[in-house]
Amino acid sequence: MSNDFDASPWVHSSPPKNLAFVATETANAEEALARLVRRYGNCPVEEAEVIICLGGDGFMLETLRLVMDQPVPVYGMNCGSVGFLMNPFDEDDLPGRLIATQSAVLHPLHMRATSADGSVHEANALNDVFLFRQTRQAAKIRIDVDGRERMPELICDGVLVATPAGSTAYNLSAHGPIVPLSGNLLPLTPISAFRPRRWRGALLPSNAVVTFSILETEKRPVAAVADFTEVRDVISVVVRENPVQSVMVLFDPGQTLSERIITEQFSA
């Protein structure tokens, strides 16, 4: 199972009335929250038909993580600096706009990281899981895919696996490929690779299991991050798509996540 293509309207028989608003802690978002609550009310999240998220992509990811597996969609309105997952901010006829939205069902990556002290840490990531060096020394990392060694030694600043939705984030900044939601692919992208210098990464099937083994761990310590969870001094990290958990994100017509991913590939 992979990230579902967002081609269908969100099915709702009538404009939703029970809206829950959440906002990031900025003056702009909090002012917008006050105006929207006065106009539309604000029900508890657990009773909401739709959660309205006010902020940027970072706060949107926090909100999605909190509602993982709950049968409530999230509609973001941009009150931050970055808004790839967000819709334009507009206070007018919000229930009417919601009924016209299209949906994207996203599955996170699951990270299982083992630290040098033997502790095991697990976390989900809707954007990416990335490893990075903790000191001035470059990291040395072995990469296995589905139990088969594919890269005996990558010398680098780091390496990442991204979801299709996250392929336009850190992955793109690291010169990784943008992946459509319907592609059933996961980008595996090096961060400032030193050896092999010309390796640009790989596109893996969405059911692939990627294992990163850290080499020379004491001399070259490495940390691993799954969205908001950071684990220091890892010795191995296993990354795979989590087909069991999901979130639903709503987008205005003509501004679906798939359309934004395509548009991004033609931008300068």
- In SS3 terms, the chain reads as CCCCCCCCECCCCCCCCCEEEEECCCHHHHHHHHHHHHHHCCCCHHHCCEEEEEECHHHHHHHHHHCCCCCCCEEEEECCCCCCCCECCCCCCHHHHHHCCEEEEECCEEEEEEECCCCEEEEEECCEEEEEECCCCCEEEEEEECCEEEEEEEEEEEEEEECCHHHHCHHHHCCCCCCCHHHCEEEEEEEEEEECCCCCCEEEECCCEEEEEEECCCCCCEEEEECCEEECCEEEEEEEECCCCCEEEEECCCCCHHHHHHHHCCCC
Structure-token pair, residue 57: 């992509």
Q: Are 220 and 135 in contact (CB under 8 A)?
A: yes
Rg of the chain taking only CA atoms, in angstroms: 20
pTM of the model: 0.83
Q: What is the pLDDT of residue 12?
A: 63
d(CA 168, CA 162): 9
**92 carries an active-site annotation:** no
Q: What is the pLDDT of residue 2?
A: 45
What average pLDDT values come out for the chain (268 residues) when binned by 10 residues?
47 80 94 96 93 92 87 91 83 92 91 97 96 97 98 98 90 90 89 93 96 97 96 98 92 79 74
Q: How many CB atoms lie within 10 A of CB 260?
A: 15
CATH number of 109-241: 2.60.200.30
- According to the annotation, is 114 in a ligand binding site? no
- According to the annotation, is 75 in a ligand binding site? no
Q: What is the pLDDT of residue 116?
A: 96
Domain with CATH 2.60.200.30 in the chain: 109-241
d(CA 157, CA 162): 17
- According to the annotation, is 170 in a ligand binding site? yes
Amino acid identity for residue 214 in this structure: I
CATH-assigned architecture of domain 19-107+246-264:
3-Layer(aba) Sandwich (3.40)
Q: What is the pLDDT of residue 81?
A: 74
The phi and psi torsions of 63 (rounded to 5 degrees) equal -65, -45
- According to the annotation, is 227 in a ligand binding site? no
Q: What is the pLDDT of residue 82?
A: 66
Question: Looking at 57, 117, 144, 233, which residue is catalytic?
Answer: 57
- According to the annotation, is 104 in a ligand binding site? no
Tell me the pairing of strands 139-145 and 128-133.
unpaired
Domain with CATH 3.40.50.10330 in the chain: 19-107+246-264
